[in-house]
Amino acid sequence: MQIKVDLDDGFLPRIYTSNANVKHSGQPILSFPIEIKSIPAITTAFAISLIDYDAVPRTGFPFIHWLATNIPVMDVTLLSVKRFVFRRSLCRTEST
């Protein structure tokens, strides 16, 4: 299985960070695109998390930004989650 996240010089593009223009209550709500290829044929769903280990010096623990579960596999050769849009307790995905 191959997972691809496009980066700018090794970092997430600014539009997905605290510098984002799309925010709710001052917090960015647009997540970065994720592409998964060569998915094993027996895969039925995914769980994807974003855990920020760089936050340990500030928070004292790895910060869990988000966790998405039960993402169905519709094509076992490619899963492309273009973005997650978070608004309060509502999460919707836009995928291909």
Type and span of the H or E element at 79:
strand 78-87
Residue 96 has pLDDT above 70, yes or no: no
Can you give the pTM of this predicted structure?
A: 0.62
Q: What is the DSSP string of the chain?
A: -EEE---BTTB--GGGSTT-S-EETTEE-BPPPEEEES--TT--EEEEEEEEGGGHHHHSS-EEEEEEEEEE-S-TTEEEEEEEEEETTEEEEEE-
> What pLDDT score does 91 carry?
47
Domains along the sequence of the chain with CATH:
2-95 (3.90.280.10)
Residue pLDDT, tens place only, 42-77:
888 888 888 989 889 999 999 988 888 888 887 555
What pLDDT is attached to residue 84? 53
